[in-house]
């Protein structure tokens, strides 16, 4: 039996791992659709998506439509005669696109749907203190992340996981799941199931810089989860009020010190090697931070060059 003609759609690194798995499994990739090149950096040079770079390296046909409803794009896509389409971290598709292949169009989402629909499921699972998450393949329909579920795979979230480590864990789990989904769709071994919405649903809306500011009035566990749920990107931040200087401070990693707190919430306490913030339930011990115009450093490195005022505080 000939392998189905697959069109793959995706943009970031997360999608590259899945595409790589398909290529190495000798899947029949007839086309790759990714985002148009965008100006980036100080020189505003055109930046190619991670998926485009990979596709070029492997000689795959690339399409970069600005408008997914453009008749010329639809005609070019039809000309590829796709039998199955796979979507990983891409845009919302019009029906003319997702309804085209005979085997359907399925998406890989980095959560256990229907929980954490939206753009940032990995971040929000950690921020909310979840102990379990996973990946889901589902048929695309005319809404966002609501289609019939094909297969799900679960994994644990450790107390040390960050958005970065969980991203990689789900990326590899998702690559295996996509292959399994393709095989079962080919062999008609999947019975798609409607998403169950008869429970409170947690959303995974897009995260913006202004919503990454730490609220030091929260309890110690919530703050710790917030920091690791935004690390290494887009990164939790705060303002360090150091005497007459106000410094924008990115925080990449921290740990909880569950010791009796003597200082007012938000007060900064420093030793030669440690920088801690008093919070409800103890102290948040900052481990990796970044000051404006500097590289990411350990707290010890920062303290070697930063004179901390006695009344320093954050918030």
**Cα atoms found within 13 Å of the Cα of residue 181, Cβ hemisphere only:** 32
Q: Is 112 annotated as a binding residue?
A: yes
Query: What is the token pair recorded at 303?
Result: 């303290």
Q: Is 177 annotated as a binding residue?
A: no
CA dihedral 221, 224, 227, 232 (to 10 degrees): -130
Q: How many CB atoms neighbour CB 78 within 10 A? A: 12
**How many Å from the N-terminal Cα to the C-terminal Cα in the chain?**
63
Beta strands 245-257 and 282-290, pairing class: antiparallel
Q: Is 114 annotated as a binding residue?
A: yes
Binding region for (6S)-5,6,7,8-tetrahydrofolate:
111-114
Question: Binding site: what residues are annotated?
Answer: 111-114
């Amino acid at each position: 039996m000939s392998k189905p003609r697959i069109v793959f759609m995706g943009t970031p690194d997360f999608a590259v791992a899945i595409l790589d798995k398909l290529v190495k499994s000798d899947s029949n990739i007839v086309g790759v659709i990714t985002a148009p090149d965008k100006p980036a950096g100080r020189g505003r040079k055109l930046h190619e998506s991670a998926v485009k770079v990979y596709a070029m390296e492997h000689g795959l046909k690339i399409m970069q439509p600005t408008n997914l409803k453009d008749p010329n794009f639809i005609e070019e896509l039809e000309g590829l005669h796709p039998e199955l389409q796979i979507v990983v971290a891409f845009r919302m598709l019009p029906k003319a696109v997702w309804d085209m292949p005979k085997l359907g169009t399925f998406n890989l989402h980095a959560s256990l749907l229907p929980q954490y629909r939206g753009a940032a499921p990995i971040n929000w699972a950690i921020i909310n203190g979840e102990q379990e998450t996973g990946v889901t393949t589902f048929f695309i329909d005319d809404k966002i992340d609501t289609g019939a579920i094909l297969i799900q795979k679960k994994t644990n979230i450790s107390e040390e996981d960050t958005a970065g480590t969980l991203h990689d864990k789900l990326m590899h789990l998702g690559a295996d799941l996509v292959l399994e989904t393709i095989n079962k769709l080919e062999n008609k071994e999947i019975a798609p199931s409607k998403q169950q919405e008869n429970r409170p649903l947690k959303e995974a809306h897009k995260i913006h810089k202004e919503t990454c500011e730490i609220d030091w009035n929260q309890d110690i566990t919530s703050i710790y989860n917030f920091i690791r749920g935004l690390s290494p990107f887009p990164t939790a931040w705060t303002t360090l009020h150091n005497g007459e200087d106000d410094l924008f401070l990115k925080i990449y990693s921290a740990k909880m010190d569950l010791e009796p707190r003597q200082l007012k919430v938000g007060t900064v306490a420093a030793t030669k090697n440690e920088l801690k913030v008093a919070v409800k339930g103890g102290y948040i011990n900052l481990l990796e931070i970044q000051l404006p115009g500097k590289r990411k450093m350990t707290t010890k490195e920062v303290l070697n060059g930063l004179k901390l005022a006695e009344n320093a505080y954050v918030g």
